[in-house]
């Protein structure tokens, strides 16, 4: 089962809360080695984002992220896991689960 792992910052987090978090390089090499992490990367903040809409067949661009969210998404990974429990285990060992928030979204599988 594939899961999109959205890696987000938590603007409300108190400094020091992520103390003792694991190292991201260790996480990446372990999950790559196990064939769990299929791909992933950091992304530039919302100030570098462009939003695209087509309305009345016209392409409309907006400078900035979709909706008035703060800079939430910092990166993403695609995981291949047996089930949600394994995906939760993997996500909970990512440093940004300690210093931010991680959202797991299962891929849409056609029935």
Partner 1 sequence: MITGESANELIAGIYADGWSRIVATMIRFTGGDWDLAEECAQDAFAQALRTWPQDGVPRQPLAWLTTAARNRAVDRMRRASAEAAKIRQWAALEPQQPAPYTSDSEIPDERLELMFTCCHPALNLDAQVALTLRSLAGMSTAEIARAFLVPERTMGQRIFRAKQKIAHAVIPLRVPPAHLLPDRLPGVLHVLYLLYNEGYGDQQHKTQLSREAIRLARVLAALMPDEPEAHGMLALMLLHDARRPSRVDAGGELVTLGEQDRSAWDPDQIAEGSAILERALRRRRAGPFQIQAAIAACHATAPSAQQTDWPQIVALYEQLAQVAPSAIVELNRAVAVSMAQGPEAALPLVDAIAESGRLDGYYLLHATRADLLRRCGRTDEADACLHTALTLAPTEAERRLLSRRLAES
Per CB under 8 A, residues contacting partner 1 are: 1, 82-85, 88, 104, 106, 108-109
Output the six-digit token pair for 12: 């409300």
Nearer to partner 1, 32 or 83 (CB): 83
Q: How far apart are CA 96 and CA 74, in angstroms?
A: 9
Closest approach of partner 1 to the CB of residue 93, in Å: 15
Pairing of β 100-106 and β 2-9? antiparallel
Phi and psi dihedrals of 44, rounded to 5? -65, 155
Closest approach of partner 1 to the CB of residue 84, in Å: 5
Nearer to partner 1, 52 or 82 (CB): 82
């Amino acid at each position: 089962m594939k899961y999109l792992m959205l890696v987000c910052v938590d603007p409300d987090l108190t400094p020091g809360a992520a103390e003792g978090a694991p190292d991201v390089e260790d996480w990446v090499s372990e999950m790559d080695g196990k064939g769990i992490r299929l791909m992933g990367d950091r992304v530039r903040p919302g100030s570098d984002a462009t939003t695209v809409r087509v309305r009345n067949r016209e392409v409309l661009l907006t400078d900035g992220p979709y909706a008035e969210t703060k800079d939430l998404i910092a990166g993403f990974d695609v995981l291949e896991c047996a089930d949600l429990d394994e995906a939760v285990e993997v996500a909970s060992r990512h440093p940004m689960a300690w210093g931010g928030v991680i959202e797991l979204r299962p891929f849409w599988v056609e029935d």
